[in-house]
Structure 1
Amino acid sequence: MPFYEVHHCAPLTRSEKDDLAARITQIHKSAFGAPSLFISITFKDISGCDFYAGPNQQASCNRIFAILRTGGPRTVTDLENLSVALSEAWQDSIVRNNTVEARSLSGVFVTRSIEALMEHGFLLPGAGKDEEWLKQNLPRFQKLADEGSAGFQGLLKELGH
């Protein structure tokens, strides 16, 4: 459903990545109701890149990109709240008490540009249509879980089945 891409020039530990990914997942689930299995997050080390704001090279090039499905009931305020929550998650997971400028977050970019999406063998619904889609696909989720898919076993548990 959503695709989050974390670009970082600051070195991140596995624990920091795990913590930030868990926070991003929880933020998105709380805001938009998507199940965890369908919230994709990648981390890209871009420490070899030069980052400029206008003509000035910057010490920090850490950014979070959130690419969401188009349409649905999401308002600009919802997306602004998402941006703030993601920024706070970075602060809590990565910066904490380490105020080195290179660990600060340069920006959060939220776009609605996913027109169609297929994940885990499922064509996913439009924004705001998750609940109905989940109900319709419950038998297929159950079949995959019964066949041993840990991801779908986790999905069924998350859905209370």
Structure 2
Amino acid sequence: MPLYDVEYVTPLTPEQQEQLAIAFTDLHSKRFNTPRFFVNVRYTDVNNQVVFRGGLRRKYNRVVIRTRAGSNRTNEAYLDHCKQITTEWERIIGSEGERGLRTVWIMGALTTALEAGIGRPKTGEENQWLKDNMAHFETLAAAGDEDFNELLKEFKGKKSNAI
């Protein structure tokens, strides 16, 4: 259940928000082997928020990522992820003046989470967790849960790509 908090001072259109959400979801799910529907992206207009940096009032765009930490998630991997987030921001929003993304923070402090009654796996144990919970996912999907229908499509697509 990673949460990407996008705090922006430059106006973002709904289309830009959607493009960023798709890009961030793609990056996270590929890098950390996380099902797409677990990735949350939230937008907050902080144009009127008071922020001081170094004792001086500042306004800037930032992305704060809350995710799980683990021994298989190195500082180098996190730093590369921050760079990729910045690259996507610049591709979609730009980098000039207030349009630029000033900061990307990764807070690897998500100890555990519960989603639809299912506890998240430890980092590195995602594949086994998917297999262990597949029957429950299928039950939720059959009951009409759109997220789990998407999860099953995603999982089946990955499985067929591996063959």
TM-score normalised by length of structure 2 = 0.90
The CA deviation string for residues 81-137 of structure 1, in whole angstroms up to 9 with x for no partner, is 1110111111112117xx2x1211110001210111112221111111111101111
SS in 1 for 2:136: helix
Structure 2: how far apart are the matches of 1:159 and 1:112? 25
% identity of equivalent residues: 28
**1:136 matched residue in structure 2:** 132
Q: Secondary structure at the match of 1:160?
A: helix
1:61 is matched with which residue?
60
2-structure distance, mates of 1:146, 1:72 = 36
Distance in structure 2 (CA, Å) of the matches to 1:72 and 1:151 = 29
**Secondary structure at the counterpart of residue 70 of structure 2:** coil
Q: Which residue of 2 aligns with 1:154?
A: 150
Q: Distance in 2 between matches of 1:103 and 1:121?
A: 39
> How far apart are 1:51 and its partner, in Å?
2.9
Corresponding residue for 1:8? 8
Residue identity opposite 1:139 in structure 2: A
CA distance in 2, matches of 1:128, 1:45: 34
Shift of 1:155: 0.6
Which residue is 1:46 aligned to? 46
- The CA distance in 1 between the partners of 2:23 and 2:84, in whole Å, is 9
Does residue 76 (structure 1) correspond to residue 79 (structure 2)? The answer is no
SS of the equivalent of 2:108 reads strand
Unaligned regions of 5+ residues in structure 1, if any? none
- TM-score by length of structure 1 reads 0.91
Using the alignment, how far apart are the partners of 1:120 and 1:133 within structure 2?
15
Partner of residue 145, structure 1: 141
**1:44, distance to aligned residue in structure 2 (A):** 1.1
Output the CA distance in 2 between the equivalents of 1:25 and 1:12. Answer: 18
How well do the aligned residues superpose, as a CA RMSD in angstroms? 1.4
Contact 1:72 1:126 in 2 (8 A): no
| Aligned-residue offset at 1:50 | 2.6
Which aligned segments of 4 or more residues in structure 1 are displaced greater than 2 angstroms? 50-53, 55-58
Partner of residue 33, structure 2: 33
Measured against aligned partners, the alpha-carbon deviations of 1:54-76 in whole angstroms (never above 9, x if no partner) come to 13333x42100111112241111
Distance in 1 (alpha carbons) for counterparts of 2:107 and 2:5: 12
- Alpha-carbon distance between aligned partners in 1 of 2:8 and 2:52, rounded to the nearest angstrom: 14
